[in-house]
Structure 1
Amino acid sequence: MMQIREINGPVVKVKNAKGVFMNEMVRVGNFKLTGEIIGIDGDIATVQVYEETSMLKPGEPVEGTGKMLSVALGPGLLGSIYDGIQRPLNELIKKSGSFIGRGIDSFGLDESKLWEVSFIKKIGDIVSGGEIIAEVQETEYLKHKIMIPPNINGKIIELKENGSYRVTDTLAKIETNNGIKEIKLYQEWPVKIPRPVKKRLEPKIPLITGQRVIDLFFPISKGGTAAIPGGFGTGKTITQHQLAKWADADIIVYIGCGERGNEMTEVLEEFPNLKDPRTGAPLMDRTVLIANTSNMPVSAREASIYTGITIAEYFRDMGYNVAIMADSTSRWAEALRELSGRLEEMPAEEGYPSYLASRIGQFYERAGISENLNGTKGSVTIIGAVSPPGGDFSEPVTQNTKRFVKCFWGLDKNLAYSRHYPSINWLTSYSEYSEDLKEWFSNNVEEKWNYYRDEAMKLLTEDDRLQQIIKIVGEDVLPDNQKLVVLIAKIIKVGVLQQSAFSNVDSFCSLEKQYNLIKVIMDTYNKAKIYIDKNIAISRVLPSEIVSKLLTMKEEIKNIDEFKEIENMMNEHFKKLDTIYN
């Protein structure tokens, strides 16, 4: 019988470990704590425990389960709130109160609830892994598709009729080369193993977020990867909340990985009350929350990341577009560092383990848009927040994350402290999807979308150069053509890049409105340049009432047709200048 040999925080050495395998789930001690085997040396196994190990003693028994750490995938995932190893928090509260007890095992899905199942296959059909055999209307707007597990192929020899079933009920029996397999309403899948797809596709369709600084300047594709690094108070969490609320993904998986308890409480209280702007139904109807706060055991942080990505891949296999918000991957990396220290591994930069980069890479590589085994197309988009100490982007987690993501939305503390939100710095941020998505924006929004975007970026870059000069000698010494650049850049920063998450009008901005905003501003700049070149004072070319109108367009305009009125107003203004100065 396996027994505890030594205990070092969440790392437990086990003796007499014969017949166990790597990544096997085990029950540790008299409390039956959940653990995972992460090392085997002869008959000594190393276990990382996902729960608090205080009061464990050497000599206590350890039991193998014969399976890897897995999640239950089936109807009932949406709207659920889990801990890092897919135990429903509401069930844990019922069993042990507000302070969650240890060794409590709870199935990830509601075993008592009945689901209306409609079958789309019949007896005698030959089916293969990934094929859809039935459907369940899980929420008012989302159908849950019951799929054959990826590793099962064969002939349906038994099938239930349409009706109400629990997740643990057997729906079908399939005759395979390895015997008869039962298909239930749910399936289990090991979290460390990516779910298979037929083919990976190129990311050519944007994930529309309604946030101008992202959609217009640093877009992300469906199936893409992005990092939001920023120091304390720069707005990582609120940016992710905005993306969760407004992004055109079918499903949201929000992973609170090692975040402060009060922040996670805010999420847990706010999300159930949010309305989905697309359907009017509660946002939780298409959301899965995984809550793993900073005072929970560190090893569970690592598990929460893998639990979230596995749930996302499951919905992708049904043909849905899923967006994962991981807040924050730095806390996960810190958990790796702590465990590595307890395992006495040789530390690398800043004490992080040498395999930090490969672990981060394994996580982000599970994103993508793909053709699934059943012929549908789905995507998993990963947006990970990074919390570098002191906002230092040169630290290892941020630098290693940059190697694997193609969108980098760097949050700037100076912008945040000056109340410019979202505080994404337009000079340090980038998106490698911009080129891939140019054709989509040209064909689906406006042909000149990319032209106006590129011109605005050039102007913002020129403004940054001029700001260095202004710091030394002041703005008054600049010639009028450079003053115009500084003024228009200010209008872009305030009138386009700044966007209030709490505004009823401007919290979400459609692509059409984004295009018209930047078009009006850049057209104004191009016309104003003509008059500046004629030595007309900038105060006459762009008087305060015109500037004020350009700054407030984002809030005042509720209908796209109103942009015509602004364009007419600008044309009238420039006609008057022609009359006066010609």
Structure 2
Amino acid sequence: MTNFKAGNIVYINGPVVRANNMSGFTMQEMVMVGNKKLIGEIISLEKDLATIQVYEETSGLKAKEPVLGTGRPLSVKLGPGILGNIFDGIERPLSKIYEKGESFIPEGIGLISIDEEKLWDVRIKVKVGDYLKGGDVFAEVQETSMILHKIMIPPFLKGRVVEVKKDGSYTIEETLVVLEEEGKTYPLKMYQEWPVRLPRPVKKRLPIGRLLITGQRVIDTFFPLAKGGTAAIPGGFGTGKTITQHQLAKWSDADIIVYIGCGERGNEMTEVLEDFPKLIDPRTEKPLMDRTVLIANTSNMPVAAREASIYTGITIAEYFRDMGYNVAIMADSTSRWAEALREIAGRLEEMPAEEGYPAYLASRLAQFYERAGYVENLNGTEGSITVIGAVSPAGGDFSEPVTASTKRVVGAFLALDKELAYSRHFPAINWLLSYSGYIKMLREWFSENVAPDMLDLRSKMMRILQEESKLLDIVKLVGEDVLPDDQKLILEIAKVIKVGFLQQNAYHREDSYVPLERQYKMLKVINRLYDRAFSCVKKGIPLSKVKNDDVFDQVIRMKYNYSPENSGFFEEILKKIDDYYDGIESKYEKEGASI
């Protein structure tokens, strides 16, 4: 790092610092602020006056202290040592800081990052004479038991291999390969540095058409997420945003999880930091942290670093995507990130827009979510980034600016409902307010991988729930007794769908994760129950006879009673339904209306 330029501080306002004599600096350059060399970034330049946002606590900073240039933008190190680690908003390892005996991040600690002393077992994949270009893999490291880390040529570099090390154990600072191009040599180490605000290049973006399997019925079946897609999970306090994201992090079939806690309360983030290292990946029976990166920037950490945290997270995700992995990002929550933008904008004396947020809030949100996608990488592999952002609207008001701006750019909107949450219905996703724009894109995938009629069944169940909502408005006015039996049946079947299918217990052994095949069979059972019951009602059989408590209860409780050892479990329920309704239909035909 070369400090070849220097300015002087003339103004300090929290994380916002202004310095003069800055005419030799560039926009978005990373700088070292003050005698403690606090990490900052230039966000505005006017003649020789620069405005800097500082990513550390500025207490004790004084006017006339120097500002030193680095000649490069705010960047993160990308290499072995990221997985299983816990970073702050600018990729400084919290565990390493804690080992030094620090309860809080000390000012001026510098831009420490992944471990520079650890030895990694490296397998070299190239030889002298090979011609390599950006994205090509030149070495491999088994970073964790689950993830093979592919060491790649930086995107804009190319050349012929003139030197290469043998397989062996090396630190990330040792040169493994030397490239030569047009008389210039380029030493390649195990890591590369990348500016967090610059998206990493890809060969091309591909159509979205693969389901991100989560094992959560209300998501997979009713509001599916696609690999490479975007989703928002808005909800007020206590509606279950964090536990929903935990479930997605634990059960989704993404190869790698990047969990960003930006601006959440310290005790919530502590729970994540304590729980995640103990979790076992249900697919591999290995520690979940072997495929997880945690970025923690709690509400008491410097506000500017919170603003940078989501860019740090998405840059790490893009790096693993470039290796050919499917990555899922959990950002909890983008509302706290937007509040950091608002605070910094206020200190910069920018003209406020709605509710005090800066006018560029919507474009910043769009820039973040647009870095998701299913792509063909520079090295020919395919990878994806799926972004799932939690939103915390004040008072659960979905019309506030962050939720409204997010809703315009995401492909799926999973609206959490406080009434459902307070009635202990989890996940508290409101089926009337939520939507997924990926259903048409995924129809072929569902047809090939689950069943051709799965989405048709989903549409039928949604129509029943929508009809129930209209009927409940009538019931509130005049009571249920005025409804004909076919409409009363809609209310009963809707209750089966809500309690038996949409409600899911995150702590139940069989219900926490439900494979798609089982979800489909559950839908088939509910559909059979509705069809047979509706047929009986249309024949004039009273609802009191049609609705058998034992049959309905067995359908509702099938999610708990299911046993993997019983291969004929769902066939038994279907037989019970058919036997019951065959019996009352036969009795009705014999005895007529007297039934």
Scaled by the length of structure 1, what TM-score is found? Answer: 0.99
1:579 aligns with 2:575: no
Name which of 527, 535, 542 aligns with 1:530.
535
Report what 1:389 is aligned to.
394
Residues 134, 147 of structure 1: 8 Å contact kept: yes
Question: 1:39 & 1:260 partners in 2: Cα distance?
Answer: 31
Name which of 66, 77, 98 aligns with 1:61.
66
Report what 1:116 is aligned to.
121
The DSSP-based 3-state class of the residue aligned with 2:40 is: strand
Structure 1, 101-110 or 388-397: larger mean CA deviation: 101-110
Name which of 21, 25, 36 aligns with 2:26.
21
The DSSP-based 3-state class of the residue aligned with 2:443 is: helix
Alignment of 1:166-315 (within 5 A): 166-177=171-182, 179-315=184-320
1:428 aligns with 2:429: no
Relative to structure 1, the CA distance from residue 394 to residue 91 in structure 2 (aligned partners, 3 Å threshold; closer, same or farther) is same
The DSSP-based 3-state class of the residue aligned with 2:202 is: coil
Report what 1:563 is aligned to.
570
Report what 1:372 is aligned to.
377
What letter corresponds to residue 573 of structure 1 in structure 2?
A: Y
Question: 2:422 & 2:481 partners in 1: Cα distance?
Answer: 26
Deviation at 1:526, TM superposition (A): 1.0
Residues 492, 521 of structure 1: 8 Å contact kept: yes
Residues 262, 310 of structure 2: 8 Å contact kept: yes
Name which of 4, 10, 25 aligns with 1:5.
10
Question: 1:78 & 1:134 partners in 2: Cα distance?
Answer: 17
Question: 1:567 & 1:69 partners in 2: Cα distance?
Answer: 60
What letter corresponds to residue 575 of structure 1 in structure 2?
A: D
Structure 1, 560-569 or 131-140: larger mean CA deviation: 560-569
**Which ranges of structure 1 fall in alignment gaps of 5 or more residues?**
none
Report what 1:543 is aligned to.
548
Deviation at 1:16, TM superposition (A): 0.7
1:457 aligns with 2:457: no
Deviation at 1:530, TM superposition (A): 1.1
Residues 92, 106 of structure 1: 8 Å contact kept: no
Residues 195, 313 of structure 1: 8 Å contact kept: yes
Question: 1:312 & 1:99 partners in 2: Cα distance?
Answer: 27
Question: 1:62 & 1:177 partners in 2: Cα distance?
Answer: 37
Question: 2:308 & 2:491 partners in 1: Cα distance?
Answer: 49
Structure 1, 516-525 or 103-112: larger mean CA deviation: 103-112
Question: 2:333 & 2:46 partners in 1: Cα distance?
Answer: 33
Question: 1:558 & 1:400 partners in 2: Cα distance?
Answer: 44
Deviation at 1:542, TM superposition (A): 2.1
Deviation at 1:106, TM superposition (A): 4.7
What letter corresponds to residue 354 of structure 2 in structure 1?
A: E
Question: 2:290 & 2:514 partners in 1: Cα distance?
Answer: 23
What letter corresponds to residue 105 of structure 1 in structure 2?
A: G
**Which ranges of structure 2 fall in alignment gaps of 5 or more residues?**
1-5, 590-595
1:417 aligns with 2:435: no
Question: 2:224 & 2:113 partners in 1: Cα distance?
Answer: 35
Alignment of 1:400-549 (within 5 A): 400-549=405-554
Deviation at 1:178, TM superposition (A): 7.0
Residues 39, 111 of structure 2: 8 Å contact kept: no
Residue-by-residue CA offset, 1:299-347 (whole Å, 9 max, x unaligned)? 1111100000000000000000000000000001011011111111111
Deviation at 1:447, TM superposition (A): 1.3
Residues 91, 106 of structure 1: 8 Å contact kept: no
Residues 532, 578 of structure 2: 8 Å contact kept: no
Question: 1:90 & 1:382 partners in 2: Cα distance?
Answer: 26
Deviation at 1:96, TM superposition (A): 4.8
Question: 2:404 & 2:182 partners in 1: Cα distance?
Answer: 48
Structure 1, 227-236 or 100-109: larger mean CA deviation: 100-109
Residue-by-residue CA offset, 1:253-306 (whole Å, 9 max, x unaligned)? 000000000000000000000000011111000000000000111111111000
Residue-by-residue CA offset, 1:216-275 (whole Å, 9 max, x unaligned)? 010010000000000000000000000000000000000000000000000000000000
What letter corresponds to residue 188 of structure 2 in structure 1?
A: I
Question: 1:403 & 1:574 partners in 2: Cα distance?
Answer: 47
Question: 1:562 & 1:39 partners in 2: Cα distance?
Answer: 65
The DSSP-based 3-state class of the residue aligned with 2:176 is: strand
Residue-by-residue CA offset, 1:387-409 (whole Å, 9 max, x unaligned)? 00000000000010011101000
What letter corresponds to residue 301 of structure 1 in structure 2?
A: R
Q: Report the number of matched residues.
A: 582
Residues 152, 176 of structure 1: 8 Å contact kept: no
Structure 1, 352-361 or 102-111: larger mean CA deviation: 102-111
Residues 334, 390 of structure 2: 8 Å contact kept: yes
Scaled by the length of structure 2, what TM-score is found? Answer: 0.97
